[in-house]
Amino acid sequence: MTQEPRYGDGANRKVRVAVVFGGQSGEHDVSLRSAQTVLAALDDDRFEAVPIGVTRDGKWLTSSDPMAQLTATSPLFALDGPAEPDVETLEVSVTSRAQSLPSGFGSEIDVVFPVLHGPMGEDGTVQGLLELAGIPYVGSNVLGSALAMDKAMAKLVLQQHGLPQADWMLVNRRDWEQDPGAIAERIGEQLGYPCFVKPANMGSSVGVSKVHDPTELAAAVELAGRLDRRIVVEEGLNVRELEVSVLGNEAPIASVVGEVVSVNEFYDYSAKYVDEGSQLIVPADIPAEVQAEIQRVAVDAFLALDLAGLARVDFFLDTDTGRVLLNEINTMPGFTSISMYPRLWEASGVSLPELVERLLELALARADERKASTAHS
């Protein structure tokens, strides 16, 4: 980032960056780890960090060390080690209007880095709040955030753009409850087994199940249905799991490609954050032409969903056919010390502090573009 801060009192004033973390989704604990990484990467000579926590029930914490308050109750920071979240406890609370924005938030902050993963944070809700407040923020706008968060809607848009994906279908929880036999028959006929069942709106593989045969289907659908009324079912293939990071606004670029080798049968929440043994291989051992195709499709998908700032794009490489298949797009990927997004950029020559600066610059640049569009309207 080469320009002087464009917000505040000039070059002698540090840019005040609100780093927002926690939130009301099942990814609350992961958000805390990601935010710690972002806070540590901020250049103290140029930025003033303002930590802001959001509790599991939607209250904003702006004083008395919000990070310490939230980590004190987080299983990922417990003395006896991390634990997989209990799906039964992941109900999203409704925040009162009085709690929707901290007092003085808008007038005191130059730019927000919303390090929030999952619903009520990564899905356009917080982005809409910041739009109303007129505060620049890192990441995609309301539309892009909402589209990418909803796996079914993202798949439909990407399908319209001709991007390759595995076969899938959408199941509504109400339809399943009314006639599970008919839904099970459709899944068996259209997708077969094994298949994957996941909530349409969730990340970090929370609520995701691999279904090996029809006897496991009901439990998987009911698990996903506790987190969302819309459930995505995808065909199960023999694949390698590959990931690439994207950075930019109107002219995004893609990093080198990495590979995930899960310690479990698939890369679920436990394999990501609890169990030891999963490997993140950077760069992936793949032919140059496969990497080029993945990078191209990742950028096309980023633009198709009208994303901005950052995204991690996940792919499957079908080991039976050699096809490259787009899996999911994450608009606020993990920023922990072991997360793929920063690791892939580091392998591409962009250090973590530089990456955070670039993201803040992209946020400020987009805010300037929005002002210019308003001025011409």
Q: What is the pLDDT of residues 223-258, one digit of tens each?
A: 999 989 999 999 999 999 999 999 999 999 999 999
Model confidence pLDDT, tens digit, residues 44-69: 999 999 999 999 998 999 888 999 99
Model confidence pLDDT, tens digit, residues 123-132: 999 999 999 8
Model confidence pLDDT, tens digit, residues 180-233: 999 999 999 999 999 999 999 876 567 899 999 999 999 999 999 998 999 999
Sign for the CA dihedral angle at 59, 60, 66, 70 comes to positive
Burial readout 131-152 (b: 16 or more C-beta within 10 A, e: otherwise): eeeebbbbbbbbebbbbbbbbb
The segment(s) of the chain belonging to CATH 3.40.50.20 are 15-138
* Contact between 242 and 218 (Cβ < 8 Å): no
Output the pLDDT for position 48: 95
Output the pLDDT for position 10: 54
Mean pLDDT of the chain: 87
Comparison of pLDDT for 111 and 7, the residue scoring more: 111
The segment(s) of the chain belonging to CATH 3.30.470.20 are 149-164+238-352
276 phi-psi bin (left φ>0, alpha ψ -120 to 50, beta other): beta
Output the pLDDT for position 211: 96
Query: Which CATH architecture group holds 168-235?
Result: 2-Layer Sandwich (3.30)
The segment(s) of the chain belonging to CATH 3.30.1490.20 are 168-235
Average pLDDT over residues 104-114: 80
Output the pLDDT for position 74: 86
What amino acid positions are annotated as catalytic residues?
27, 204, 273, 312, 314, 328, 330, 334
Percent over 70 (pLDDT), the chain: 83
Q: Domain 149-164+238-352 is classified in which CATH homologous superfamily?
A: ATP-grasp fold, B domain (3.30.470.20)
Model confidence pLDDT, tens digit, residues 9-33: 455 689 999 999 999 988 899 899 9
Return the closest-CA partner of residue 32 out of 40, 41, 22: 22
Output the pLDDT for position 264: 54
Instruction: Give residue 288's pLDDT band: very low, low, confident or very high (50, 70, 90).
Output: very high
Instruction: Give residue 40's pLDDT band: very low, low, confident or very high (50, 70, 90).
Output: very high
Q: Identify the CATH class of 15-138.
A: alpha beta
- Whether residue 80 has pLDDT greater than 60: no
pTM of the model: 0.87
